[in-house]
Structure 1
Amino acid sequence: MVFILKIFTSLCLTKNDLTSFTVGHTNTENTYEEVNKLKNLLQAILDSSDVGNVLLSPEQKVLFFNKTTQKDILQLWGKEIAIGEDFSPYVAPNLKNEFEQEFQKALQGQIIHTEREITDVMGNKVWLRGKYLPVYHSNNELLGINFSIENIDQKKRASDLLKKSEELISKSFGAIPVALAITNFANGQIMEVNKAWLELLDFDYENVIGKTHTELGVIDEQARQALKERITINGFSGHIELTIQTSKGTPKTVLASLEKYEISNTPCILYTLIDISQRKIMENSIATEKQQLTNIIRSVGVGTWEWNIQTGEVKHNEQWADMIGYTLKEITSHTIHTWERFVHPEDLKIAKALLAKHIRGETEIYECELRMKHKNGNWIWILDKGKVLEWDAEGKPLKMYGMQQDITNQKLLERQLQQKNEMLANTEEELRQSLEEVYQANLQLEASQARLKAVVDNFPEGSISLIDKDLKFLYTGGAGYKNYPINPQDFIGKPVKSILIKEIYQQLETCLPEIFAGNTCTHEANFENKTFLNVYQPILDKNQQVSAFVLASFDITEQKQSEEKIRLQNEILVRQNNIFKEIAWLQSHDARRPVANILGLAHLIKTDEKNVQQYIDYLYKATEDLDAVIHRIVELTQQIEMY
């Protein structure tokens, strides 16, 4: 700009000056026009500048100014500047002394820079940047002072605003409860951290600035480089789970988010760290509890299902599929229609009706015994139970959870019991035809059978416990505990030996070799005048090693009592049956012979009068034989009444 001013000043010549300068040249007019063209071009260049420029003589007379100067003077003081005028009226009254001092310094060859806030003619505060620059002729003679004026009010206020914003951001950065750190992208050195970061990792501020996360032991170098590569590729990392170390070596699990920024043209990485250590502990605890429940479900062979009523999607566990001979992978589709495909058509109608009643809220739970098609082609009996546990805002059922249990063996026992009852009913009918007492005895037997069936149908409640290899309770519960004033949750974590009675613990010890060999072991035990069936089922880990076992205890006292009653009734029936057989033999053989003799002798008495006395003697003997048979029948009948 100074160079242009010097050229422009040298071109500010009159036509006469140029004529005398070009004496001896014939093209004076053309030369003057060329000089004016160049002058106009330079004027246009100066006018296009955003900075006001005014050239002042050593006496502070205006020699030149551009349009920006003219505009700024007019806005600031409401005056128009003119060449040849004194510049003093365009200086703020309160700055005249400073202007005079600075101008004199410039006349002595100094370049002066200033920044001041002034008050314009309207009373507004305006920031101006000034510059005093000496301008010389080619012979080093001082031409004047170029005084440039730049309105920097917007820049200054923007700078102040930026400064305040940076201060606010700095305060906000420190106050954010999430751990934040800014590092140099190239060398990983920490440039800034906030209070949450220091508290999370237990560091002092002065000990971390300028160091890397690796040097502080937060993460190793390999992990830092891996994160840097991800940032290099994508510019950000998303959410990453990291295990970091505090200053005391305590591991913490964090959810890290990294993003690349530029601060003052320096590539940086912004680390955001959210401590999820407690969440991970809870997740692991929930996973452990879920695995324990899964082990219990797996050990008792129960299939589970979760039905999304709105979408029809059904989630099954592996035992559900295994129950019908499949694996979950083999069953490609898992919807309510998948279940319908396996259910027997006759039972499906009943099951659907029961499901509909439960969904309408007419029943507390859904429960149905139905048949399902096994992979081998056989029909197996299933006890299917479930309940709606989730509803939408309008009260419509969303999800239903349930289980199914294979009751094929139970159904087989019921069938066998039914067949026995039918056989006993047939025997009862045959005996009723022979003797009323036998009929009454069979009625008693039928009543006993009914009581036995009631015992089977209402199978006793019991308890289920999960025990680890160290013989400590991991879990225990069940309806059987309601008969005793104890809380089964108090057993968890305690040794089995301290809970079980001596007899049951000794039986457990005898079963341990079988259990840890992967085999099921059962035994009966007596406790408080009750008989229990204890079933020990091992649980295998992924290496097929026994990691724990389930103790299922069932109260079979009534069952044992019923079995004893049936045994006694059967003995009575056998004895009665033998008596009936003997009575039948006496009636059909021993009683018939004397009766036949009596009938024959009566005929002889009528036809042969000579030997009547002899026939009477024979008749008397036959009557005595018949009386003996009758007495024997009476004795046998009395024996039946005794039973």
Structure 2
Amino acid sequence: MNLSVNLTKQTGTDACAAGAAPVLYEFFRKTPSRNYFGAGVFELLGYDPVDSDFDRTLGWASLLHPDDALIFAQHRNQQTKNDANRRLTFRLRHKDGNWITVEDCATIHELASGDVVTSGCLTRLDAAQTLSSSDGTSHTLQKGGNLHKRLLNSLAEGVVVYDATGTVVEFNNTALEILGLTGDELCRKTVPETPCTFVREDGVPLTRDELPGKRVLATGDREYGVVLGVNRPNGEFAWIRVNAEPLHNEQTGTFDGVIVSFADINDVKQAQVAFRERELLYRQMFSNTTAVNILVDPADGRIVDASRAAEELYGFADGGLVGRTIPDLDVDGAPSMHRHVSAVLEHGALSFVVQHRLGNGEIRKMQVHAGLIELHERKYIHTTNVDITEREHYERMLKDANRKLAEERQRLDEIIWGTSAGTWEWNVQTGETRFNERWAEIIGYTLDELGPVSIDTWLAYCHPEDLEKSEAALQSTFRGETDHYQCECRMRHKDGSWVWVLDRGKVVEWDASGNPLRMSGTHADITPTKAVEAEIRRLAQTDQLTGLSNRYQFNSMLSQIIQINRRFEKSIVLLLLDLDRFKQVNDTFGHPVGDKLLVEVAEIIKRNCREADVVARLGGDEFAVVLPLMDDVRDAAIPAQRIIEEVSRPLIIDGNEVHVGISIGISTCADHNGTPDSIYRDADKALYRAKNCGRNRFCFYVEGGCNECGALDRELCGRYALNPQNQDN
């Protein structure tokens, strides 16, 4: 949308005395609903700005004199070039039925949207003849003496009168002021002799012969509404609007001179610049954003402008949003619009929620932030619309979830409080405490056995490691950081075991200074829950088939053991074990037999390891053993050889004689600097070498690329077993 402001300037006692006052308008060829008329247009034509009889969308069409309509239409159709200028004279019907003659000065340009905009101003010609009518004469000016002079100097416009030779014969003080001249510089001078220079609106200098007064002297034709720039002798610059009219002797009818009237329109020009800057700023703020902005005429709810984001959201393919009305969008129609428009006009701003129908028919819920603004001396409502359809959906889901969660919490609270929980009451200031019988039963006592109870009773039976945590939770509640106290603690049972309790409480009385006076709470025995948690942790760390540690637990323990061995400057040894010919067992006897074989092998490995060793099944037929705190890494050959010997014997599984072997790779942390990844990688290389050298044997990892057992010391390869009878096996 192009913004316009009313630039009409009254420069005298009334409009007629001031001369031709410019009134602005702006027409949109494709979207005539956006047509704008300055307040001066309505005044010029005798209409009230809110008069329903005046149809803005028709432009001049309904008011144009029939004799001028054809010329006007032809000239309009010829204006196809962007930024073209137009100057026409035509007649418009006043509301009182009379015809008034106006001069139209306009610029036509095309917007980025493709719409063609005509921006212009009207000057009423029959009101511009300040000193003479169309047939006035200079003789008339010579009558009246002082009355004529007073009238001339009272005008807000500058007036200069030339005789037929082009010599200045009359002027007023306003002319001297506007042109920056003295009386001597203008009196009895011809047009070329004045010290002022002039330029056109585009900045091109004018020759003296091109000045309006000079052209009227040459042609005898009127010149109206000519905009010129004046370079004053003092170096200042001003813009003026000039009307020049021929004068005739009223007795002979012969040409008698020229009367030139002109008005200082610097304010108009500045307003035009401000108008362009304001238009640009408004356009950038309105359109260059992801916000859905809409400008609405409150008179009829018509949309006069919409941002790109708004057009994209609503998606009306047939002409977009501009020209539509709010009831076209609002599902609740005109009543909803009138209600909200009235509220905005009353309060200036309003936020509300409505349902809008998009171009594809989809209904979306909109949060509308509306505010009243004033443009072109008219009120509009600017709205920023936010689609909250999805947000409301998620908010409803969140509310439902919170409601269900609250219900579940309430249900659990009722269950807890409805059970035979241990209860306690504590005078925070004195330490006096009261327990119920169940509180004592949880730890295997009766209240009588506990004797006189106080807060010290709790301190005596709570696990020392949990007291600090309990105290921190209590202090947080006392400071108001939490609305209740809660802590899981261990208490010593009468039989010497530790019982887990959930200790919960709330301050039920505070003093005037905000210090806690009394607390009440419960003890719930959560030992079974803790046992379940421990079992879950155990299952998460245990291989379900063999009962050995699983890979997760193995990785965790390997890292911990490496750190412990560094602290004690001991060696750690890793054995990676892999069954030989296990696939043949599965293929021959089936997977149930294979699973039982894995269980038997796991038992063999555990029997030949120390209690401190970590034995794990990594997956399939692959096992691992971590030997911590080893003084001599070569001692790992002893359990390795025993495991090989036991696994290599025929095993009876479900009545089937099963023959398998086992290969073992052995590695350690060199200089105690190894990592879990490096020691595992080294053991895996040694296992590969054991497999490559004939299987059913162990092999230590040795730095270098040797893959053959013959390249190793006899003590580092299971090919040379500790039992000489098995060396060839």
TM-score band, normalised by shorter chain: 0.3 to 0.5
Relative contact order, higher structure (CA 8 A, sep 6+): 2
Superposition TM-score, scaled by structure 2 size: 0.39
